[in-house]
Structure formats: structure tokens, C-alpha cells
Structure 1
Amino acid sequence: MSETPRLPATVEVSALVRQVNAQGGFAAVIAKGEADAGTILLLLCENGQDQRVYERMPMADGTRGWHCAKRLDPEDPQPFHDWLERRRQQDRDLWIVELDIPAAERFIGLSV
């Protein structure tokens, strides 16, 4: 099975930011990673609420797909923020991109 060529991270991030902004949402790069091969974490929310982080992971069929890695617990938000900070400290090539728009998963091909 051959691997599908990967878009440079900077191109993928720029496209996501433009798409979300064009649809009336807010998108911003929180942490800028390695331009070509950096890992991308997406912080999705709606009006700052229901924060969740998606990242692309290897799937059983050899492809890579988005999955929800972490959700903010509104009763105890600190572990969520600590987790994001640890991820950033562990991987300096990591991109963290916030997409604040209803049903943000649609921008990465997931239904809500």
C-alpha cells in the first residue's frame, strides 16, 4: 500500500484558517510548528465553548485520520490546558490551530 503524499503543514493550516474565516468563523494559529512536516493539533470550539482537540493518527487501513484526543471539562479546565502545554513542550514542531465555528469538524471531513 503506497502512502498518499502529504501537504506541507503550513499549506494545510493556511487553507483551514482561510476556510473557517470565509465561513464567518474565527481561526488562529496558537503555536506555529515546522513548516513542512509539523504535526497539527486543532483546537475546535464554538464561541469559546465545548473545546476539544483533534489530531491525525494512523488508522488500521494504513491511512491517517482525525480523532478527538482531548476534551475540556468545564468543571475542571486545568488538566486540558496542562495537556496542551505538555504537548507543545514535547514537540517544538507542533502546530496548534484554533477553529472557533459551529460544527468545526466539517472542516476536517468529520460529521458532527
Structure 2
Amino acid sequence: MRVTSDFFVSALIRRVFSSGGFAAIERKGAAEAGAVFLRQRFRDGYETLYGPAPQSFFEERGEDRLFEVRAERAEPDAVADIIAREARFDPDLWVVELEAEDVAALLDLAEQS
């Protein structure tokens, strides 16, 4: 059974804080099933954006929530543009801002091919 987006985001924020990082909800989406995007900010001003992985990855691995990198160490404006495009397509999405060194330890990431 898949946990709600609200529950997933709440648990993720707790895990980030317990590992010494910072997290905040930038955009609150649908509590039950809104897509979750994670915006990792770095000290040098760049950002990495993680978004839901395509459905085909779920069939292979059977994960509850699986993420993929949508933009890696990109300019903040480029990440904001991607989020704006996604929000036009799905207005119920969540955006969580993270300041954590190792996001891969907090998430299940799809294998990059």
C-alpha cells in the first residue's frame, strides 16, 4: 500500500532534519496523491531537481516512491522553469526544498542508463 503524499513529505522532512539537514515545503499539493518534487539546494547556488520516476521503473523494482534526477546542479531559474512547467501539467504537485548533503541516502533513486 502506498502512503499518502502528505505522510511521505512529513516523514522525509523528519529524516532530513535528523540527518543534520534542512527541509521545507515550498509548495503544498494534494494530500492524498500529489506528485512530489524535491529541490536540493547547494551552497554554491546550484540546485538538483528530483521528480517521480516513470511508471516503468516501478514495475522493475516494486518501490513505493521512486525518484529520478530531472536537473542536476542547474541554475535556480532553470529548476524553477521545470517546476512551473510541471505545475501547469499537474497543479496538485508538491515541491520540497532540501539542504542536505546526501539526498540519495534519503530516497529511492531510479538507475540512470
Q: Give the TM-score, by structure 1 length.
A: 0.79
Higher strand share: 1
> Conserved in 1, the CA contact under 8 Å of 2:21 and 2:100?
yes
The alpha-carbon deviation at position 101 of structure 1 amounts to 0.8
Assess if the C-alpha contact under 8 Å between 2:40 and 2:98 holds in 1.
yes
**Aligned residue in 2 for 1:22:** 18
**How do 1:33-52 residues align onto structure 2 when only pairs under 5 Å count?**
33-47=29-43, 49-52=45-48
* Alignment deviations for residues 5-49 of structure 1 (CA, whole Å, 9 cap, x no partner): 211000000000111112221100010000011100111233364
* Structure 1 partner of 2:86: 87
Tell me the SS of whatever aligns to 1:53: strand
Question: 1 or 2, which has the higher helix percentage?
Answer: 2
Give me the identity figure in percent: 29
CA distance in 2, matches of 1:35, 1:11: 8
Structure 1's consecutive aligned runs of 4 or more residues displaced over 4 angstroms after TM superposition are: none
The 1:108–1:54 alpha-carbon spacing in structure 2 relative to 1, beyond 3 Å, is same
User: Aligned-pair RMSD on alpha carbons?
Assistant: 2.1
- Larger Rg over CA atoms: 1
Paired positions, count: 104
Determine the structure 1 residue equivalent to 2:105.
106
Please, which runs of 5 or more residues in structure 1 have no aligned partner? none
SS in 2 for 1:44: strand
Give the stretch that moved more between structures: 86-95 or 63-72: 63-72
Per the TM alignment, residue 72 of structure 1 is displaced from its structure 2 partner at its CA by 4.4
- Quote the residue 1:68 is aligned against: 69
CA distance in 2, matches of 1:68, 1:109: 11
Q: What residue number does 2:50 align with?
A: 54
Unpaired segments of 5 or more residues in structure 2? Answer: none
